Structure 1
Amino acid sequence: MQVHWIKPNPHGTSVGLAEVSGENDKDLDYLRPDLAHLNPKKRMEFLASRLLTQRLCEAQQIPYHGIEKDEYGKPHLIQSNYQLSISHSYPMVACAIHPTAPCGIDIESVRPQLTNIKHKFLNPIELRRCDTNLHQLCIHWSAKEVLYKIHGRKRLTFAKQLVIDEIRGDQIHARILLDDAEKKHLLKYEKVSEYYLVYNV
């Protein structure tokens, strides 16, 4: 596994980005031989996300005792109040931690399939903004994935309850619309080769 960078932030979201070197990455395979039955790509993604999270915790001087998932599938650091989010799009893996607030991170490749499903995750204003621009579609999709992870629960409608209000520079102004509340969030995106990485700041 190649760690591209780790950006520790003691007061906000700390982010790490890594790349699996192959389906038989020797740096990773020794960690969990019990996962040998899994699809090779899925196994490498799983192992890389754990190792990258550990490296990010070390950079923040946070004890790392592993990761567990809650009833909604959201990952949590064991024996820690730090919030955690993980994303992978083979061979890229990303993770984010925040000392107090829920965090979200997503990495996506720019792919034509997004044009076929854009009506499912964009509202009319967002559809006009993106049109057929694959890069804009990827940023919007990834930003909504981040919002979904921040919320940490199921049953959110991407097109109606996750709103991208504005993209200004590398910042994304967004909202989560719930039955009884509206929550604003500031996200940031970065272009990494043919991928877009989005996370809350």
Structure 2
Amino acid sequence: MALAYHKKIDSSTSFAIWKIEESADELLAQLQLKEHEKSYLDSLISGKRNMHWLSTRVLLRKMMDTDEYIDCRVDEDGKPYLTNFPHFISLSHSYDYAAVMVSKNKSVGIDIELVKNKIERIASKFMSVDEMQFIDENQRIEHLYVCWCAKEAIYKLHGKKNVSFIENIKLKPFAYEGEGSFAAKLELGTIKREFNVHYERFDGYMIGFVSDDINEE
């Protein structure tokens, strides 16, 4: 497993991207797993799901830089959390890469996706009519992926299942530039939250990430 990219957001928050190159056994050798984790791993179909689960946990261990056991669990809505460390985390994976975002003091969300033309077919399922109006036709695929990663990152930060990407997560118009940030908001019942979402293009992939309060340089 090779560190492909590491970005420090502020003194308490960072994310990293790793290229998955090892076998499952090589990844397992780097982890301290309890019986409940081994049972869950055994329940996964061997292949990408297995490798993605292992690789995000190995990367999390690297980022936490500890010899202690890391008890990483998921809640009833599927949001990962640590029981024995105070840090907030977010995990993502796509094909040959794993992504982990960690913060000591704020909720975070990250998404990584391999950029493929197929996003055209599902755009209407996560983009509102108004949002489709600001998509750059000359960079349509990349622009759509930024929007997807942004909404997915906000969804992960919020950590609840009852969220519609179209109705509840709304993006302000922005121009696609390969790397940048833009405003977005989550509106769900009495919840009204505003975010500054960041994105970057990386080796054929798109990365979107957000925190409750990302400090700008």
Normalised by the shorter chain, which TM-score bucket? 0.7 to 0.9
1:152 pairs with one of 154, 159, 169 = 159
Matched, 1:46 2:45: no
Matched, 1:14 2:24: no
**How far is 1:192 from its partner?**
0.6
Secondary structure at 1:97 match in 2: strand
With 114-123 and 128-137 compared, the bigger mean Cα shift is at 128-137
| Counterpart residue number, 2:170 | 163
Letter in 1 for 2:27: L
Letter in 2 for 1:199: F
Cα distance between partner residues in 2 of 1:155 and 1:131: 30
**How far is 1:103 from its partner?**
0.6
Secondary structure at 2:133 match in 1: helix
**How far is 1:7 from its partner?**
3.2
Q: Root-mean-square deviation (CA), in Å?
A: 2.4
Contact (CA 8 Å) 2:126, 2:166: kept in 1 or not? yes
Contact (CA 8 Å) 2:134, 2:173: kept in 1 or not? no
| Counterpart residue number, 1:72 | 77
Percent identical pairs in the alignment equals 26
Can you give the 5+ residue segments of structure 1 that lack an aligned partner in the other structure?
none
Structure 1 runs of 4+ off > 6 angstroms? none
TM-score (norm 1): 0.88
When residues 64 and 83 of structure 1 are mapped into structure 2, their CA distance, relative to the original with a 3 A threshold, is farther
Q: After superposition, where does 1:54-133 map in structure 2 within 5 Å?
A: 54-58=61-65, 65-130=70-135, 133=140
Secondary structure at 2:26 match in 1: helix
Contact (CA 8 Å) 2:95, 2:114: kept in 1 or not? no
**How far is 1:165 from its partner?**
0.9
Letter in 2 for 1:89: S
Letter in 2 for 1:99: K
Can you give the 5+ residue segments of structure 2 that lack an aligned partner in the other structure?
none
TM-score (norm 2): 0.82
Cα distance between partner residues in 2 of 1:10 and 1:63: 24
Matched, 1:175 2:180: no
Contact (CA 8 Å) 1:87, 1:106: kept in 2 or not? yes
User: When the two structures are aligned, how many residues end up with a matched partner?
Assistant: 198
Contact (CA 8 Å) 2:89, 2:103: kept in 1 or not? yes
Deviations 1:32-62 (A, max 9, x none): 795466322211111110010111111xx79
**How far is 1:172 from its partner?**
2.3
Cα distance between partner residues in 2 of 1:117 and 1:185: 24
Matched, 1:137 2:155: no
Secondary structure at 2:156 match in 1: helix
